[in-house]
Chain A
């Protein structure tokens, strides 16, 4: 699946409260997928999920499903933060910029929280 880290309002407001606070850590470790993808993977909101790639792996929580028309099949959105960094490859292809979006990840359901 393709992981797209990005900004969200909650990520921005919790950032101001403090990165070491619980809210920021919760926001940045909660993923979003569309309804069909979640159904296909047998996931419900609140389930724990392991995302992994060649660089690393991280456990996150599954957020509420997004409508199919809002988020394409096979795509995962996560607010930027320590969890997305854990999966980010450091090679910048000579640009200085790591591939911070469109990371290919495997998804493993770990069951209910």
Chain B
């Protein structure tokens, strides 16, 4: 798949490698049709054919950082010493937490679970501040689902609710849902009707045939009204006053949903991060289920980070729960709100933190960040971040998908193999985590941590 032109063969040309069918791990689309041009002398990607604006930035901006592999309190140290210190911190902590994982391959995620099993820690992923509420809703009401391939080949009605893929997942439209021609959608966009439901007119609006603007914080009421209409019930005559959407628009949408051949509801943070959270996601999932009495309808969360779906899968298959898992009693327990990282930090429960490919110091609530500053933090990231800057132990790791292989899950739970472009002097996060895990096993064998 890869082809290298050496300077010996063509002296005037730079040392270039072309990597075909490479995978972009920036967002949950995980597009695996990249053609990368790699300057092996400069250790950087110079061209990313087929990539969107975000993918291009991802590939072109991830070269080799001029940064130490490992630091303790801002001081460069050998990798082994940093792994010793990280293991010591986790071994001595009474309530160690691990968070992040959505920008790591599944192989590293698996080791992170093993570490928490060993130290009786708490493992959570960025899902908890992303589609965590949808994860709660899946357990409550189930999921009518499909792959993105089925959507591409069959969906003639595509509804986006509370999301802006034009800016967050630019190729979602062009690769899977709107413009591509499918087996039963021979004319692409012409055979589809696209609806966007949002509180504002986003850059995604031009793609849609219809924009429905809901009042902020009224998604649940709108979803419940749609459920009622799909089931043939009457709704509050003041529905427009409540939701901002007229009865006529609702009736038309309901008829369109009931009479399509294959409908899909894609939903984003506009539902999970607002008032109602998992009730919003649950209402949308229930609406999709209701519609299956009339036609084929599915609902899919639009997932953000490149392997956040893999994190859900790995943590689920290893512990039985998708995120917010606590091993304190020696077996996994799941309780969002109790074992999710924002809560653990804001309450001041955690006394050490292992942050893997994530930057909570920049995107968590203020009170959670304040506690993070008080405890020893171990960070693994491919670039300096707010979190790595304040970490007691900071590892600079290779970029997954660019410097490392491994497996990631696309947002529709399809596993995809990574095809690295060039080598990195930095260790992979799997190597760092394995080093910490090995040390922890020795420490545990020498003296079991005091039971809390």
**B274 A99 Cβ-Cβ under 8 A:** yes
Given A19-B386, A97-B133, A102-B274: A92 and B337 interface contact (C-beta under 8 Å): yes
**A69 B362 Cβ-Cβ under 8 A:** no
In the complex, chain A residues 59-92 whose Cβ is within 8 Å of any chain B Cβ = 69-72, 75, 77, 80-82, 85-92
**A86 B366 Cβ-Cβ under 8 A:** yes
Chain B residues near A13 (CB-CB < 8 A): 53-54, 57
- Encode contact with A along B373-412: 1 for CB under 8 Å, 0 otherwise: 0000000000111100100000000000000000000000
Q: Taking the complex as formed, is B58 at the interface, i.e. its CB lies under 8 A from any CB of chain A?
A: yes
- Interchain CB contact (< 8 A) of A12 among B54, B273, B274, B343: B54
Report the minimal beta-carbon distance from A55 to chain B, rounded to whole angstroms: 6
Report the minimal beta-carbon distance from B325 to chain A, rounded to whole angstroms: 12
B124 to A, closest residue via Cβ: A96
Given A20-B389, A82-B386, A90-B367: A99 and B273 interface contact (C-beta under 8 Å): yes
A80 to B, closest residue via Cβ: B363
- Interchain CB contact (< 8 A) of B200 among A18, A75, A100: A75
A85 to B, closest residue via Cβ: B363
**A101 B366 Cβ-Cβ under 8 A:** no
Chain B residues near A75 (CB-CB < 8 A): 199-200, 216
Q: Taking the complex as formed, is A95 at the interface, i.e. its CB lies under 8 A from any CB of chain B?
A: yes
Report the count of interface residues on A (CB-CB < 8 A): 43
Chain B residues near A92 (CB-CB < 8 A): 336-337, 340, 342-343
Contact segment of A2-10, A36-44, A105-113: A2-10
**B132 A85 Cβ-Cβ under 8 A:** no
Chain A residues near B164 (CB-CB < 8 A): 6-7
**A70 B132 Cβ-Cβ under 8 A:** no
Give the CA-CA distance A19 to B385 in the complex, in Å. Answer: 6
Chain B residues near A85 (CB-CB < 8 A): 362-366, 369
A interface SS class:
loop
Given A9-B54, A85-B365, A96-B340: A4 and B200 interface contact (C-beta under 8 Å): yes
B200 to A, closest residue via Cβ: A71
Report the minimal beta-carbon distance from A80 to chain B, rounded to whole angstroms: 6
Q: Taking the complex as formed, is B270 at the interface, i.e. its CB lies under 8 A from any CB of chain A?
A: yes
- Interchain CB contact (< 8 A) of B384 among A7, A20, A77, A93: A20
Give the CA-CA distance A100 to B385 in the complex, in Å. Answer: 21
Q: Taking the complex as formed, is B217 at the interface, i.e. its CB lies under 8 A from any CB of chain A?
A: yes
Given A4-B199, A9-B54, A85-B369: A96 and B336 interface contact (C-beta under 8 Å): yes
Q: Taking the complex as formed, is B17 at the interface, i.e. its CB lies under 8 A from any CB of chain A?
A: no
- Interchain CB contact (< 8 A) of A98 among B129, B203, B275: B129
- Interchain CB contact (< 8 A) of B365 among A20, A71, A98: A98
- Encode contact with A along B55-91: 1 for CB under 8 Å, 0 otherwise: 0011011100000000000000000000000000000
Give the CA-CA distance A88 to B362 in the complex, in Å. Answer: 12
**A93 B337 Cβ-Cβ under 8 A:** yes
Report the minimal beta-carbon distance from B424 to chain A, rounded to whole angstroms: 16
Chain A residues near B192 (CB-CB < 8 A): none
Chain B residues near A56 (CB-CB < 8 A): 366
**A102 B217 Cβ-Cβ under 8 A:** yes
**A98 B342 Cβ-Cβ under 8 A:** yes
Chain A residues near B170 (CB-CB < 8 A): 9
Q: Taking the complex as formed, is B168 at the interface, i.e. its CB lies under 8 A from any CB of chain A?
A: yes
Give the CA-CA distance A55 to B346 in the complex, in Å. Answer: 13
- Encode contact with A along B268-283: 1 for CB under 8 Å, 0 otherwise: 0110111101100000
Give the CA-CA distance A27 to B128 in the complex, in Å. Answer: 25
Q: Taking the complex as formed, is B212 at the interface, i.e. its CB lies under 8 A from any CB of chain A?
A: no
**B168 A12 Cβ-Cβ under 8 A:** yes
Report the minimal beta-carbon distance from A21 to chain B, rounded to whole angstroms: 9
A13 to B, closest residue via Cβ: B57
Chain B residues near A97 (CB-CB < 8 A): 128-129, 132-133, 272-273, 277, 340, 342
Chain A residues near B167 (CB-CB < 8 A): 7-9, 12
Chain A residues near B369 (CB-CB < 8 A): 85
Q: Taking the complex as formed, is B263 at the interface, i.e. its CB lies under 8 A from any CB of chain A?
A: no
- Interchain CB contact (< 8 A) of B57 among A16, A20, A82: A16
Which 3 residue pairs spanning A and B have beta carbons closest together? A96-B340, A94-B337, A90-B346
Which residues of B are at the interface with A, using a C-beta cutoff of 8 A? 26, 53-54, 57-58, 60-62, 124, 128-129, 132-133, 136, 164, 167-168, 170, 199-201, 203, 213, 216-217, 269-270, 272-275, 277-278, 323-324, 336-338, 340-343, 345-346, 359, 362-369, 383-386, 389
Known: A18-B384, A80-B363. 8 other contacts (CB 8 A): A7-B168, A16-B57, A55-B367, A77-B200, A85-B362, A96-B132, A96-B340, A99-B274
Q: 29 A-B Cβ contacts within 8 A?
A: A7-B168, A13-B57, A17-B57, A18-B383, A19-B362, A19-B386, A70-B201, A77-B200, A85-B362, A85-B363, A85-B366, A86-B366, A88-B364, A89-B365, A90-B365, A90-B367, A91-B346, A94-B337, A95-B337, A96-B324, A96-B337, A97-B128, A97-B129, A97-B132, A97-B273, A97-B277, A98-B129, A98-B342, A99-B273
